[in-house]
Structure formats: C-alpha cells, structure tokens
Amino acid sequence: MIMDNGVNHKNVRVRYAPSPTGFLHIGNAQSALFNYLFARHFNGTMVLRIEDTDTKRNVPHGEESQKDNLKWLGIDWDEGPDKPNPKYAPYRQSERTAIYSKYVEKLLKEGIAYKDYTTEDELKEMRDVQRANGEAPHYDGRWYGRSIEDQKKAAASGLKPSVRLHLPSHHTYAWDDIAKGHVSFDSDNMGGDFIIQKSNGIPTYNFAVVVDDHLMDITHVLRGDDHIANTPKQIAIYEALGWTHPNFCHISLIYNPKTRKKLSKRDKDTLQFISEYKRQGYLSDAIFNFIAFLAGLRLVKMKFFRKMN
C-alpha cells in the first residue's frame, strides 16, 4: 500500500529508471507502478530516466519497448526523454557522462576519491588470499594515498585506472526506510573502497544514480529490496559530495515461481513479460490490477482504482 506516515507531501519527485538491457517484465512493472501511484497519490512528479551506460548489454529497441508497454499498462510519466524539462534534461545516462566526470574530478581533487591501478590479476590474487584466510573478499586499499610518482609510473606502463571512493573506518551509513524501518551498515563490512568510475571512464551504477537523483531533485527512491545493499554505498557518495540523500523505500520483489529467483529481463520464461500478456490478449486493466495486487497496493486511494474495476 501507499503509506502516508513519514512522507513529506511537498514537491514529491520519484523516478522509474530502467536499463534497456531487456524488456519490461512483471518485476519492472511493479516498480514503475509503485512510483506512478506514489507520485499521483501525493500530486507529485514521476520521472522516466534511461540508465543505458551498459552498452554491451543493451538490446535493440529496449527503450522503446519499455515505453510502449508502460503506456499500454496505463503508466505514464511527467518528465523523460520524450517530455524533457530543461532544468533536468537530458534523461539518458549516456548523454550525461560529462556531468558524472565533473563530480568524479571534484572528489579526486578533494582527496576523497583516488585512482586505482590494480590489475584484474592482482585483484583476483587479493581475493584468493583473503578467502584462504577466511576473510570476506574486499579491496585492501593498496592505492589509497599512493604518490603522484607511483601513479605516473603505472600510467606510463599503459595501465588505465579506475576511481575508488575512500570509506572512513568504523562509520555507520543508516537511513529510515519507509517500508523496512531503520537500516544501518558499517563501513568496515562494505567490501572496502568501491569503484565510482571504471577504467573506461564510464561511471558505475551507484555513482551515476546518486548524481542523477540529486540533480533531478528526486525526493523518494522507491525500488526493489534487492537494492538495499546498494543504498549504503549511495549514501556514502551523497556524504562525500556534501548532499542530503532522498527518502528510501525498498519493496518486496516478485519472484519467478519456477526458479524461485527474482525476475530477470533475460529469463526465458516469457509469460513474465508484459508484451507476452499483451500478445495473448490479456486486458491492460487486468494486468495493472494483478501487478498492484502482487505489490500490495490494494489500499491505495480509491481514485486510483479506476483501472481495477
């Protein structure tokens, strides 16, 4: 259900941010529906943002398919690539790389982030040793605080660095989740300093999401609870950049009954895909109602249930 408790009703802005690596399935649609109804409930704004930086996994017409099937379900957005607000555009991450680089450079300049020239073989060896010692695999910080001379030598050898965010020791990252209540993580149990920019210059998911959500004035991040482990890293980035993080709400996932795993856009179980329900003649209202039921949205204000009747 949509919860009023603890929600600041003023200027609510939410986003649905699919990646065009596959087609719209029930799990994606649940997230989109939750954001759509939340925005409508609080007279807010729903933003459609396309997270398309993983070019190797993007599928042809993935973005168009997502949009078409959302519209078929009756889920529309207020801002997006096709409805740009000049204050927040562009809405495709592939068109925002210069923005991300600007903030990576800021953190590098301030010494909060650093270049890491560790090779894949070195990372594998590091993790193997840690596992052999009964430790959870983590980055050991070997390039944190290294001299300019060391960096120049590594660069001269042809190595291209990733950029990592330095985490303070014994620091708690916590938030009051709208659905889960109080959640906290210790920085010492987060896998060490993590990458915010890959060696090819592309930002990682967590970094790009934080920059976009902040610059787009997103007030509430509503998503599946498989993202809970991402949230402390995102809060760490917010803190590093001196920004206030939005409200978080992590909702239960819909699982594939055959595999008992969360639905994936690349699963072969085609009946999970919205396009298949559409092709087989299901009414969009029925699927809208079904997804709302699975998502526990039965107690939304009755005015939203025009789709249900």
Confidence at residue 257, expressed as pLDDT on a 0 to 100 scale: 65
| Residue that finishes a domain, picked among 166, 197, 228 | 197
Q: Please give the average per-residue pLDDT across 15-23, as a whole number.
A: 90
| Residue that finishes a domain, picked among 197, 222, 253 | 197
Annotated active-site residue 265? The verdict is yes
Task: Report yes or no on 289 lying in a domain.
Answer: yes
Contact, 37 vs 297, CB < 8 A? yes
Task: Report yes or no on 179 lying in a domain.
Answer: yes
Residues 108, 163, single domain; the answer is: yes
Number of domains in the chain: 2
Q: 213 lies in which domain range?
A: 13-94+206-307
Strands (E), 158-252: 162-165, 172-177, 181-186, 194-197, 220-224, 247-251
d(CA 29, CA 270): 15
- Torsion (CA) 240, 241, 244, 246 in degrees, nearest 10: -90
Residues 31, 102, single domain; the answer is: no
Q: What CATH code is carried by the domain that includes residue 150?
A: 3.90.800.10
d(CA 81, CA 69): 16
Task: Say which range, 64-68, 234-238, 262-266, 305-309, has the weakest mean pLDDT.
Answer: 305-309
Residues 79, 115, single domain; the answer is: no
| Residue with token string 């060696």 | 199
| Residue that finishes a domain, picked among 173, 197, 221 | 197
Contact, 262 vs 192, CB < 8 A? no
Task: Report yes or no on 4 lying in a domain.
Answer: no
Tell if the pTM clears 0.85, that is, is over it.
Answer: yes
What pLDDT digit, counting tens, does each position of 239-268 carry? Answer: 999 999 999 999 988 766 666 666 665 555
Output the CA–CA distances (angstroms, integers) from residue 309 to 45, 73, 172, 227, in the order listed: 25, 14, 47, 33
Task: Report yes or no on 6 lying in a domain.
Answer: no
Task: Report yes or no on 82 lying in a domain.
Answer: yes
Residues 177, 211, single domain; the answer is: no
d(CA 215, CA 125): 39
Catalytic residue selected from 258, 261, 265, 301: 265
Q: What CATH code is carried by the domain that includes residue 237?
A: 3.40.50.620
The model's confidence at residue 10, banded by pLDDT at 50, 70 and 90, is confident
Q: Which helix (H) or strand (E) holds 69?
A: helix 62-73
